[in-house]
Amino acid sequence: MGEQRSRNRISCSVDSLPPEGKEMLHEMLLDTNKSYVTIAEALTKRGWKISKSAIGRYAIRNNAAARRLKEAAEKTQQLIAAVKADQGIDATEVATAIMINGLTERFATAEEEFDTMPLDKAGRLLVAAQRSAVYKKRYAEGRKDACEAVEKIISQRLREEVQGDPELLARLQRIVSDTAREEAAKDD
């Protein structure tokens, strides 16, 4: 099989700062009026030598991470609102949507990783995704069959109980059938 490329951990001079130096850096980065040069000079005066370029790279990485966290939080809030608004939404569908969205974003930025991914691993991922779709279809079919079975049992019991009133029996059976159909259709 092909050799797996290893990721190098990003290391920068900010990592060597003591906690109070990192805290000072973070506070100064929050002030958009301060340039990276000003921040570097202030840290150097305190005895922590660091370049403006290192501060800039660190700020870019932190801003990207903060942006991703903010976007994820916003998406989660939207999904929670959708679930609250429509109680018919299945929690597994929400979780699957979140995972597919994250994977899609990852796929969009991981071209090199796909080039180096072993074929057997790619095959396992594909099989797992297809298996999930099959399980969901089986679940929906099983639920539909269960709804139909319950409908038949209830209809039979209604016939036994309401023998003398065919109009009432027809209305009750229509209610049962409509409810069973609506419940089975929730998985579509």
Q: How would you label 18-56 residue by residue, b for 16+ Cβ within 10 Å and e otherwise?
A: eeebbebbeebbeeeeeebeebbeebeeeebebeeebbe
d(CA 101, CA 74): 13
Q: Could you give the CA distance from residue 156 to residue 146 in angstroms, rounded to a whole number?
A: 15
Cβ contacts of 108-114, under 8 Å, gap ≥ 24: 112/5, 113/5
Interatomic CA distance for residues 130 and 117, integer angstroms: 19
**How many domains would you assign to the chain?**
3
Residues 30 and 50 in one domain: yes
161 and 123 together in one domain: yes
Rounded average pLDDT over 24-45: 88
- The reply to whether 187 and 133 lie within a common domain is yes
Separation CA 127–CA 131 (nearest Å)? 6
Residue 32 sits in the same domain as residue 56:
yes
Statement to judge: residues 108 and 123 lie in one domain: no
Q: What is the largest CA-CA distance in the chain?
A: 97
Question: Does any domain span residue 101?
Answer: yes
Q: Is the same domain home to 163 and 142?
A: yes
Which of the two residues, 51 and 88, has the higher pLDDT score? 51
More confident residue, 9 or 15: 15
pLDDT band at 185 (very low <50, low <70, confident <90, very high): confident
Same domain, 111 and 73: no
Region 7-29: mean pLDDT is: 79
- The model carries a pTM of 0.38
Task: Give the length of the chain.
Answer: 188
Looking at per-residue pLDDT, the higher value among 20 and 110 belongs to 20
Judge whether 38 and 25 are in contact, CB under 8 Å.
no
Whether residue 3 lies inside any domain: the answer is no
181 and 127 in one domain?
Answer: yes
pLDDT surpassing 60 at residue 66: yes
Boundaries of domain holding 100: 86-116
Q: What is the average pLDDT value for the chain, to the nearest integer?
A: 77
Count Cα atoms within 13 angstroms, Cβ side, for 52: 7
Q: Among 7-16, 41-50, 63-72, 108-117, where is mean pLDDT lowest?
A: 108-117
